[in-house]
Amino acid sequence: MAKTVDQYFDDLRDSRVWRSVFRSGTGSSTLKRSLAIQQNIFLHLFSTKVRRRMLSFSATWYLGTLTFGTFLILVLTGILLMLYYHPSVPQAYADTKDLQFVVSSGLFLRNLHRWSAHAMVFLVFAHMFKVFYRGAYRPPREFNWVIGIVLLLVTLLLSYTGYLLPWDQLAYWAITVGSNIASAVPVFGDKIHFMLLGGNLVNANALLRFYVLHCMILPLTAIFFIAIHFWRIRKDGGLYAHQGEPATLKQAAVAKEAQ
Amino acid sequence: MPNEKHQILSEPGGTFDRRTFFVKLGIGSLGIAAAGTAVFAYQFLSPNVLYEPSPVVNAGKPESYPMDSVTLDVNSGIYLIHAKEGFFALGAVCTHLGCLTTWKPELGIIACPCHGSKFKRDGEKIEGPAPKPLPWLRTWLSDDGDLMVDRGAPIRPMEFLKV
């Protein structure tokens, strides 16, 4: 008798190579499925069990996941853009124009990076409002709300530092204005301004500093806090459900009919 | 038992035993190292040499500025103004958030394109959000008869340079 596709997958999962990588073993028992999540370095941040209702669109509108999705797009397109961009005064603007008009798919990648950045800022705010109006920030989730605020600030700083990199008039004056806002900090304002720009003017040092912040320091900070943010969902008892919110949509429908 | 010995040695009375001493020594040296790192980080992040343009600007011969003219040099960010009382220079960088202002000859005012601050020709503020007037800058004649302006040296207003 010919094997079914499922049987081929079962054979694959039973092979020595597969089992050396995924140690939870085959089978679809609750235990095996829990182990598959728990023993995966990326998935172990998440809960092994989720209320089915929480996976429906209406519970979260998937705003957090979509934000993370735009972040992944930004990391990917950003790394590709770095291959053609030199963070130096004579080259930055010319490289941006090359990306726009000369490099194959450069226009697409740059636009994708730009629009994903706008989308990420929008989605971060939407996610924040959704969490707020659902009341999902309340104990025991108040610390994860704080982590979320840190991530909001990192997102805005990523937008701000990326703004300078095209090195056009808009970038130059936006960063001149923005960095002068930092000077308004009491006592240390001028020192912060000087350290941020690496000088008194938006110049070569400022371009390089913003590049390093944009491509290294801030993305690593974001990844660090995103990991904590995801892990805390599990630690704080999974995605927030209202008291008495049914575990599945089916139960919700039954309850509605009974009324 | 080692624990008993430990307790006996750390009896109240001001003396502490070897273990406490090393713990305090360790924490203390970590604190000193952290403070040193903060100082190093601050010094490292503040450049000692800047490759920025000189604050002193050569604005050329006084004859090239007609009477009652306001000339903006966009590269150095200064106005050179030839008034009846004499020459003077104004910083053209807006005192609000650092945008470059521009002279509006049709209105006879200096205006900032970013947030709408307006100034009179002598730098006095007409309307905000700029918190301060545009600064007067030290102006003098070089030995060659060129007008010199020091952008880093603000002076009191109404100190004209007679040529």
pLDDT for residue A2 is more than 90: no
Report strand pairing: B125-127 vs B118-119: antiparallel
Confidence of residue B88 (pLDDT cuts 50, 70, 90): very high
Q: Does domain B56-155 have CATH number 3.40.50.300?
A: no
Q: Which residue among A173, A177, A201 sits closest to B52, beta carbon to beta carbon?
A: A201
DSSP string, chain B: -HHHHHHHHT-SSS---HHHHHHHHHHHHHHHHHHHHHHHHHHHHS-SS-----SEEEEE-GGGS-TTEEEEETTTTEEEEEETTEEEEEE-B-TTT-PBPEEETTTTEEE-TTT--EE-TTS-EEESS-SSPPPEEEEEE-TTS-EEEEEEEEE-TT--B--
| Chain A residues near residue B46 by CB distance under 8 angstroms | 191, 194-195
Q: Which residues pair with B91 in a beta bridge?
A: B78
Query: Is residue A195 left, alpha or beta, with left meaning phi > 0 and alpha meaning psi from -120 to 50?
Result: alpha
- A residues 177..216 contacting B (CB < 8 A): 177, 179-181, 191, 194-195, 198-201, 203-205
Average pLDDT over residues B128-157: 91
- Per-residue model confidence (pLDDT) at position A77: 97
Q: Which of A253-257, B75-79, B155-159 has the lowest mean pLDDT?
A: A253-257
Q: Is residue B121 a contact partner of residue B114, using CB atoms and an 8 Å limit?
A: no
Cβ atoms within 10 Å of A11's Cβ, excluding its own:
12
Average pLDDT over residues A164-179: 94
Q: Which residue among B45, B51, B98 sits closest to A176, beta carbon to beta carbon?
A: B98
Q: Which residue has the tokens 């490289």?
A: A95
Q: Complex ipTM, two decimals?
A: 0.78
- CB contact (8 A) between residue A180 and residue B50: no
Instruction: Report d(CA B17, CA B10) in Å as an integer.
Output: 6
Instruction: Report d(CA B77, CA B79) in Å as an integer.
Output: 7
Give the contacts of A57 (CB within 8 A, at least 6 positions apart). Answer: none
- CB contact (8 A) between residue A200 and residue B52: yes
- CB contact (8 A) between residue A195 and residue B45: yes
pLDDT for residue B1 is more than 90: no
pLDDT for residue B60 is more than 70: yes
Confidence of residue A30 (pLDDT cuts 50, 70, 90): confident
Coil, strand or helix at A103: coil
Coil, strand or helix at A137: coil
How much is the pTM?
Answer: 0.85
Please tell me which residue of chain A has the smallest CA distance to B55.
A200
Domain boundaries, chain B: 2-45, 56-155
- CB contact (8 A) between residue A198 and residue B52: no
Q: Is residue A43 a contact partner of residue A235, using CB atoms and an 8 Å limit?
A: no
